[in-house]
Structure 1
Amino acid sequence: MKWLVVVITISTLILGCSPKKADKPLEKVPQRVISRDEAVGSLPCFKCHSYQKFSTPLQMGGVFPHQKHMDAGYHCNQCHDPKGHQHIVVNRNICSNCHNMKIIVFDRTALPSKFDHEAHAKMFNCKDCHPNIFLMSAGATRVTMKDIYSGAYCGACHDGKKAFASSECVKCHNKMKGFEKELSYKVEGMGNVVFSHKFHTTAFSCDSCHPKLFDMKKTQGKMKMDDMYQGKTCGSCHNGNIATAVTDCGKCHKG
């Protein structure tokens, strides 16, 4: 009997000291996307803040059509991950669920260019470009090379340091290869002038001439010898020092 009590006591102590089995991990409950109507009364943000204020583009200076997305039935927590009062993180992949954000074509000029949005999105966050550099609205900004050369838009990065220089035109404008030819200018009373664009682009970068000397469009009939003698247009280089002088007529006027 005594031995039975001892065995029971030892067994109890052993079982009592055994480590407990790990609790079963809690299953992650997927976040439920609530409707716009539910949000007004359910999301804690709107217990203090006006729903209407945050459903309009006022808080971003009119650069993002919040109301249009609200009217389509989307709401804040479908695109944003609220982090208290510090910041609201935008889900960088949410836009591509509806919009084709791969290749954007700029075709308002004679030299269309293609922007690889997908490649840039892999390297940078949305806020690196939007809305400070580009407005979040298609066609809202007319980008000019003059702006880019001054450091705006694409020029904010494409300055030859952060990324390749914006003066490397063929990097974006594929049709530039079509300008590797001779351009003929008709001249009354003198032989026509033949300009080798290919030769000059081999020796100089595009921004050496455009747009400070020549606009990026046809200049037929707009170049005058008087201007060249004053160091303008062709005379900027053809001064007898950098290149042959403009007084050497036979160099350009053939026939």
Structure 2
Amino acid sequence: MQPYFFPYLGYYSLIKNTDRFILFDDVQFIRHGWIERNRILKPGEGWQYIAAPLEKVTLGTKINQVKIKSTEDWRDKLLRQLEHYRKRSPFYSQTLEVVKESIALDTDSIVELNKNILIKTCEYIEIPLTIDVFSSMQLEIEPATHAGEWALNITKALDGSEYINPTGGVDIFKKEQFDTAGISIKFMGNNLTPYSQRRGVFESGLSIIDVMMFNAPEQIRTLIDDTYLL
């Protein structure tokens, strides 16, 4: 998976169901995706973005070359955006500490920041995480002829027997290639079962921050396990 910023529950479902999780950072960065931002509740109704500001990059810049803008005090801004949770969220204090630990890493790399976010949040939720960054692995893999072949070639290079992908990526893969290589491929989604956000309308698919605000770690693990396969 590409390295996401405080991702949603489905991302953690993939983590929990894999023996090895690889941050794929050696492809083109697309601005305004999930790499530098995600969504939380906003006061009143609806949702708002939280984000790490990035330096401007040219078209074709790889994810591992993208830098966080050091001139902006984005950490304090993010923490201020969470303050409205204090009155309604039973796990506000615990979640705030996890967020602070997650963003405290002294780095200008969005990849390293997001890796640390995953490490700290998985520690809190108590799910196992074995994580690597693709560009640092020095793997010798076969060239990919189409987008779905990256995963196949990486899995082959690691002597893996099964690859799991989110359900949204079904169309880019050629199952027969995996069958020929003796590798099983599965597509996993999360049902995003509603939990109490202590307001009228449930906002689905928000950042793990929102999930942690309203659920104890054991409840979060139950939500993470609420998956389906295609």
TM-score (norm 2): 0.21
Higher RCO (CA-CA < 8 Å; seq separation 6+): 2
Specify the structure having the higher radius of gyration (Cα).
1
